Amino acid sequence: MNPPVLLVTAGPSREAIDDVRFLSNGSSGRMGIEVARKGVEAGWEVHLALGPVEAEIPEGVHHHPFVSACDLEEVTSRLWPQADALVATAAVCDYRPQERISGKKKKEPGDWNLTMVRNPDILLNRSQERDGPMGQRILVGFALEADSDEEEARRKAVKKNLDLVLCNSPGNLGVATGDYIWIEPGQPSVHLPGISKEMLAARMVEFIGTQVTLRRGHHASMGNDESESQQAKS
């Protein structure tokens, strides 16, 4: 059986205002890079879509750089059909400037109103394309909530049909360890205080590996049942 194919998104998106300025999020990409590293260590094929951060790409990882949310939408939509699972750790801007100003906007008297438009909801879009050749693909997301709002994280998990969501707070940004809440829809939450990104990544890869095995087995069983049914009819 072929090893799982894992797609990971990491780092921030940058949404250009003009040729000099941009809007972005405070993400180091470390969480996604650790997930990619653990995937390779497990013998998987790993694709990492990484935003504009300075980071060392783990050996054996297929690197796909992106800048904007629209870039990431294109990368994930292209790679998703071949993947078994997606771990979405990227801090994607929800909005972008409606128009990019050519050159650099000059300082002028008075205020400046910037019109914003919604960026694509990448995880929601991929959740609508879950059916794959080996059964339903696996989706893991992160919910960054100001007060680690567990109920809001569960709402997002249901809306986006996630298998697992990790709820965390802004205090976890850019640090090696943090407090997370592990949420599987329909299951009790598991609080993980002071867990390192490395340990959390290992736990996620183990979870995904189990789910891939179960779903591939179920898909194979369904295929055998259909074959036997066809033979009985003939």
pTM value?
0.88
Which residue's structure tokens are 């290992």?
A: 202
| pLDDT computed for residue 228 by the predictor | 52
| pLDDT computed for residue 222 by the predictor | 56
pLDDT digits (tens, 9 = 90+) for 82-100: 999 999 999 999 999 999 9
| pLDDT computed for residue 95 by the predictor | 96
| pLDDT computed for residue 223 by the predictor | 52
pLDDT digits (tens, 9 = 90+) for 151-195: 889 999 999 999 999 998 877 777 778 899 999 999 999 999 999
Six token digits for residue 197 = 């990104």
Q: Are 145 and 169 in contact (CB under 8 A)?
A: yes
Q: Are 166 and 87 in contact (CB under 8 A)?
A: no
| pLDDT computed for residue 175 by the predictor | 76
Maximum alpha-carbon separation in the chain? 82
| pLDDT computed for residue 196 by the predictor | 95
| pLDDT computed for residue 171 by the predictor | 74
Q: Which of 25, 113, 125, 161 is catalytic?
A: 25
Helix (H) or strand (E) holding 86: strand 85-88
25 catalytic? Reply is yes
Which residue's structure tokens are 């680690």?
A: 148
Residue positions counted in the chain: 234
Domains of the chain: 5-95+114-233 (3.40.50.10300)
What is the three-class DSSP state of 182? strand
| pLDDT computed for residue 86 by the predictor | 97
Residues of the chain with pLDDT under 50: none
| pLDDT computed for residue 231 by the predictor | 56
